[in-house]
Structure 1
Amino acid sequence: MTLYKKLAIQTVIYSIGFIFPRIINYAFLRFFTVFFKREEFSLYTDMYALAFIAIAFLSFGLENTYFRFLYKKNCDKEIVFSTGVITQLLISSFFLIISIHLIKYLSSMAGYHNHPEYFFMFFLIIFFDTICILPMAWLRANDKPLQYSAINIINILIQSFLIIYLFFCYDNVYDKQNCFFFVFKWINSFTDKIGYIFFANMISSLGNLFLILPILLKKVTIKKFNKILAMNMLNYGVPIMLGTIAFSINENLDKILIKRWISDEINGSYSACYKIASFMSLYIRIFRLGIEPFFFKKSKDSDATYFYEEITYIFILFGLIFYVLVCGNVNIFMKFLIDKKYHIAIPIIPIIMMGNLFLGVYTNLSIFYKIIDKPIIGTYISLIGVFITFLFNSIFILISDNSFMIPAWGTLTSYGAMLIVLYIWGKKQFFQFCDKKIRNIIIHFLFALFIVFMIKKKMELSLILQFLYLIIIFFLEKKRLIHLIK
């Protein structure tokens, strides 16, 4: 089996475990946008935006750190895993104790003084999810995509069942003959319908922890905890953590500020359409699941640079195809996935999607500073991105004309600038992209943008333009595509 075929098979299996839960989430997106008012949907997305930043902090970059130390010489795999998990457990436990103690203050500061239970549930979600990070990474590192996917699927099924029960069956639970009567009465006593979603997430996250518990019990022991290794892993991971926090701010600052500076109604529409634009993030994540462990394994080989560059080129090629197909059919996606009252923010979708593609290319190229053990480079570049994001959102706040296009352009500019700086930096130390390959990449980007622009102007020709684009791409990259499937 060729390297590409093995990567493709693993990526397909990972994709099932990753895409299926997202399909379920998008199915619920339709229900949530119909069921909730825009201001209520804003609360739902705002809580996840805040939680995303917290998880970025608590992760301490230990997932990437684990992969890096796993393939270092003279590093015992079991000691690396035990040390990483115990370190993560200590950090997460400290966070949980402190955050619960400060729950009233934190919820009031965020504008949720009437709903501290939201924060309590999210503190538990964050705790459970961070504990699961390294065991899930262990499955990827040990080529167990089936187990990885099965856990993700079971997780979303638990969450889906609870949401369906709480939202669709609550009219009947007051029949005291119903065995679920007391369960629903208890949940309904401390939260509202938005909180039902968070409760379901909390239970599914707890279920995820139980599913990975056999890995923890078999592979993690205190005897294998190494203090010196833990310090080395933290030293390596902290810059990655800072970069992840910067990414989280880039990704969520716009939604957090629109809610607090403009209105929940505008933020509801913006956040809903942002989720459609996040289709590109699905593509990026699927690609990373199969490829990232390979990147670290390949780092010792003499031909590593060639493979990194070739895989990055392929990533860009398929990413642009995905971009054209989604943007070309965005009205269809919107019709089936989001209620009409949210459609005012549709113009942000092509902008955010292209920004996310830039981020995906950046993520692929960022492997160079992880391999040479200089993750601080990523921190510096991420701070540049955060500065640009703050700049655009500051302009947005100053203008305050309810225009959500400025934060969207800020996302695109931020990720674009980060990609350019990383490429210039990496070219001096690692990359060897030839001029022809760079020229082809630029042509592909311009061609894709031109097709999307033409589709926007002439929607009646959308399918013809998309078909024409695919044919032209096939003939331009015929040799590479044929080599890919051999």
Structure 2
Amino acid sequence: MSGIKKLAGQTIWYGVSSIAARFINYLLTPYLTYKFTTGEYGEMSILYAFIPFMNVIFTYGMETGFFRFSQNYDKDKVYSTTSLSLIYSTLILTLALIAFNKPLSQLLSVADKPEYLMLVAAIIAMDALTTIPFAKLRQNGQPRKFAFTKLTGIIVNIITIYFFLSICPKLIEQEPDHVLSHFYNKDWAVGYVLLANLIQNVIVFLILSKEFWGFKFNLNKSLWKEMMGYSLPLILVGLGGMINETADRIMLLKWWQPTGGVEDAESAVGIYAACYKLSILISLGVQAFKMGAEPFFFSQSSSENAPRIYARVMKFFVITVCLMFLFVVLYLDIWKYFIRNTEMWVGLSVVPILLLANMFLGIYYNLSIWYKLGNRTIAGAYITLIGAAITILINYIFIPYYGYLACAWATFSCYGVMMIISYVWGQKKYRIPYATSKLIAYIIIAVIFYAIHHFVKLAFPNAWINYGVATLVFILYFLFIVQVEKKEFAQLPVIGRFLRPKLKND
């Protein structure tokens, strides 16, 4: 249990800071859906689908390589080699983005505002340059600075967006000759969101300047070649992951035009993107787990009990995400109010599908430890490319008929297949004693409980009955899990106090 507690501690410090930051950012959803038209929101969503896609290329798996090689090599050499590699590549790739500004603007349907791509290029570059400094904070156990930096950046982002979208228009309206009137463009709303993001990244970079400049101008070529051999396949993993996670917005924009108008497609993207964010609880939980788990898994790899530790981590993870799934779907009629534009509520049917898809993705992250520890990162590339092929195929066939609903089921199918392949393949290469049957049962029972609540809500469309049944179902599921896993829960700090006496009496 000490290993689990260690991972929990890392997740709390490093992951929850990201959860808090992204949740604060999530509060922008009702604000932006109120300020933007569905077309503008869709335009912004397309650009923000492009950014993480490029982040993968700009970082090319070096963060994972940094954790992996720091276990066996001098940490200062690894940090210097990784940092210099990213600095050189970021400069080259940023110039390439600027050079291909016009065709990329056309591809992303912002040809009339090519300056958006200039801002996007700067955002991506700053993200890449802060990747390893953040990784160094995690490795050195500096959670306070990690959390402070994340939260400061996102608070700056929110304040700046509010300034551009609310304060500036009011000042100009009250005083038409205000100095801001010479610079402010009310039709440049998405641009101001990007500018706020860039300001955020600059502030974050300044806070991390001590870590960033902690490298020596000495790139170890032999180490770099070895790291590249390990990390480069992770580009395919990351690119496939981005296709699976974000490219569906671009495909929806290109292939969903029921009346032949681009405006309809942009609105569909806006609806889907807003509803996708309602799966944020599991998405953030997965992100928090990933940030804590990656350095933890590598640090535990030399332990004889490593497979048992990984299996127990998986069990607690599945239990947690099942509870998260029910917490969102059972109270979806409350969560939907985070989307201020009620016209977007038409897409709420995708939320349960996307929640399950993100659950599968989290399980896949757990399972992927076998190829990262065994230096088989090419296997991860194959699995992710299979997932990407499934995503593209399903979206290509079904988007013209079902729109964003096809995107949701493509995401579900993609992550489900990736999870299954990784499990089967991984058990052959690195056996881990997962409680597979039990974990599948937990997921199925959670879905059944959701279905029961859904049919009760349809039969009795009353808010009090809806929330009452939702609460009852959630409590029953939690008690069921506690009863089945009472030996495990008895070892936990808080709930264990209520279960240990019962175990002794037994």
- Using structure 1 for the length normalisation, give the TM-score: 0.94
8 Å CA contact 2:268–2:403 kept in 1: the answer is no
8 Å CA contact 1:270–1:345 kept in 2: the answer is yes
1:250-283 superposed Cα distances (whole Å, 9 cap, x missing partner)? 1122211112222111111111101112321100
Query: SS where residue 347 of structure 1 aligns?
Result: helix
1:141 is displaced (CA, Å) by 0.8
Q: 1:92 to 1:141 in 2, by over 3 A?
A: same
8 Å CA contact 1:239–1:375 kept in 2: the answer is yes
1:264-318 superposed Cα distances (whole Å, 9 cap, x missing partner)? 1111111110111232110001112222211101111111111111101111111
Distance 2:381 2:441 in 1: 30
Aligned mate of 1:169, from 167, 170, 177: 167
1:181 is displaced (CA, Å) by 5.8
Query: What residue is the counterpart of 1:203 in the other structure?
Result: 199
Query: What residue is the counterpart of 1:273 in the other structure?
Result: 275
Aligned mate of 2:216, from 208, 214, 221: 221
Counterpart of 1:336, as a letter, is: F
Query: What residue is the counterpart of 2:297 in the other structure?
Result: 295
The answer on 1:470 being equivalent to 2:478 is yes
Counterpart of 1:293, as a letter, is: P
Q: Which moved more, 1:475-484 or 1:11-20?
A: 11-20
Give matches, 1:340-419, under 5 Å.
Answer: 340-397=342-399, 400-419=400-419
8 Å CA contact 1:27–1:337 kept in 2: the answer is no
> How many residue pairs are counted as aligned between the two chains?
476
Distance 2:173 2:437 in 1: 68
Q: Which moved more, 1:57-66 or 1:94-103?
A: 94-103
Query: What residue is the counterpart of 1:258 in the other structure?
Result: 252
Distance 1:41 1:117 in 2: 18
1:147-198 superposed Cα distances (whole Å, 9 cap, x missing partner)? 11100011011111111111121134449999x9656743x35970111100
Q: 1:238 to 1:276 in 2, by over 3 A?
A: same
Distance 1:84 1:176 in 2: 52
Query: What residue is the counterpart of 2:259 in the other structure?
Result: none
Query: SS where residue 221 of structure 1 aligns?
Result: coil
Distance 1:175 1:90 in 2: 46
8 Å CA contact 2:14–2:138 kept in 1: the answer is no
Q: Which moved more, 1:425-434 or 1:304-313?
A: 425-434
Distance 1:474 1:168 in 2: 48
Aligned mate of 1:311, from 292, 310, 313: 313
Query: What residue is the counterpart of 1:58 in the other structure?
Result: 58
8 Å CA contact 1:278–1:356 kept in 2: the answer is no
Distance 1:168 1:383 in 2: 43
Distance 1:175 1:35 in 2: 16
Distance 1:176 1:446 in 2: 58
8 Å CA contact 2:3–2:309 kept in 1: the answer is no
8 Å CA contact 1:309–1:431 kept in 2: the answer is no
Give matches, 1:397-476, under 5 Å.
Answer: 397=399, 400-433=400-433, 437-459=435-457, 460=466, 461-476=469-484
1:8 is displaced (CA, Å) by 2.6
Distance 2:138 2:46 in 1: 31
Counterpart of 2:93, as a letter, is: F
8 Å CA contact 2:4–2:309 kept in 1: the answer is no
8 Å CA contact 1:117–1:191 kept in 2: the answer is no
Q: 1:31 to 1:175 in 2, by over 3 A?
A: closer
8 Å CA contact 2:94–2:125 kept in 1: the answer is yes
Query: SS where residue 278 of structure 1 aligns?
Result: helix
Query: SS where residue 276 of structure 2 aligns?
Result: helix
Q: Any gaps of 5 or more consecutive residues in structure 2?
A: 257-264, 458-465, 497-506
8 Å CA contact 2:282–2:358 kept in 1: the answer is yes
Query: SS where residue 199 of structure 1 aligns?
Result: helix
1:297-342 superposed Cα distances (whole Å, 9 cap, x missing partner)? 1111111111111101111111111111111111100023442110
Distance 1:109 1:13 in 2: 39
